[in-house]
Amino acid sequence: MRSSVIVFPGSNCDRDVAVALQNFNFKNQMVWHDESNLPKTDLVVLPGGFSYGDYLRTGCIASKSKIIDDIIKHGKKGGLILGICNGFQILIETGLLKGSLLRNKKLKFISKNVYLKVSNVNNKFCSKYGKNQTIKLPIAHNEGNFFTDDDQLKEFEDNDQIAFKYCNKDGFISSISNPNGSSNNIAGILNLEKNILGMMPHPERLIDPILSGEDGSTLFESLLKL
């Protein structure tokens, strides 16, 4: 399994996710945003961070990078793309995923562990999770408030495109367990074909018992199963 982590100026989770991928025996390479050709790869990872200092809109400038054309082609051909945190924001700005990510409802940067319900396990990213399993992952963002109109929300629900929803420890989904104001508690969404996943929580930060949990490991193990 080959993976490519795309590095933008201001990415800061690129090496974390590279370590995670290597732990699970991915053949990983780092790809600088200014390259015009994507090397042969099965999985593209857009890492977290603050690409271009979040200028204009989060992920906006990065979404116009040279490498992006090839990433869009890769995605349209059915290649796997995982966007984490700022990577999710970049995916939204490229148009590969629909919706938008607004500033957190309470205007604060949030860095903490949250509970998530795995809403869709029929995709290559989540196949090893149990349906509706409650997992714990860290979030660390200022613009993670997922927003879209009601028609689009209905479409997401109808097409089973929601991968993760914020919930409490017991798996109960409510506004109290919603850290940032996201519509329908959405923490991660898939495209219609389910080969592109964008998520605000950081699976790469919870892959070792020494870091208080392994719920992130399951995502990488799911990808390996291909």
Stretch that binds other proteins, among 55-63, 109-117, 185-193, 205-213 (CB under 8 A): 55-63
Stretch that binds other proteins, among 37-45, 99-107, 197-205, 213-221 (CB under 8 A): 99-107
Catalytic residue among 13, 33, 74, 85: 85
**Measured from the CB atom, is 60 or 224 closer to other proteins?**
60
**Measured from the CB atom, is 83 or 216 closer to other proteins?**
83
Phi/psi at 213 (nearest 5 deg)? 165, 165
Among 9, 10, 171, 181, binds other proteins (CB under 8 A): 181
Stretch that binds other proteins, among 43-51, 105-113, 116-124, 167-175 (CB under 8 A): 105-113
How far is residue 43 from each of residues 6, 80, 185, 196, measured CA to CA in Å?
Answer: 11, 5, 27, 10
Asked if 85 is an active-site residue, the reply is yes
What is the rounded CA–CA span in Å between residue 37 and residue 48?
22
| E strand residue ranges, 47-123 | 80-84, 100-102, 110-118
What's the Rg (C-alpha) of the chain?
16
What is the rounded CA–CA span in Å between residue 207 and residue 148?
31
Instruction: Establish if 65 lies at the interface with other proteins (CB under 8 A).
Output: no
**Measured from the CB atom, is 54 or 215 closer to other proteins?**
54
Cβ contacts of 13 within 8 Å, gap of 6 or more: 47, 48, 49, 84, 85, 86, 202, 204, 205
Among 1, 30, 69, 100, binds other proteins (CB under 8 A): 100
CB 157, CB 105: distance < 8 Å: no
CB of residue 56 vs other proteins: minimum separation in angstroms?
Answer: 7
Site for other proteins in 126-165 (CB under 8 A): 145, 147-149
Cβ contacts of 95 within 8 Å, gap of 6 or more: none
Interacting residues with other proteins (CB under 8 A): 56-57, 60, 64, 93, 98-100, 102-107, 145, 147-149, 181
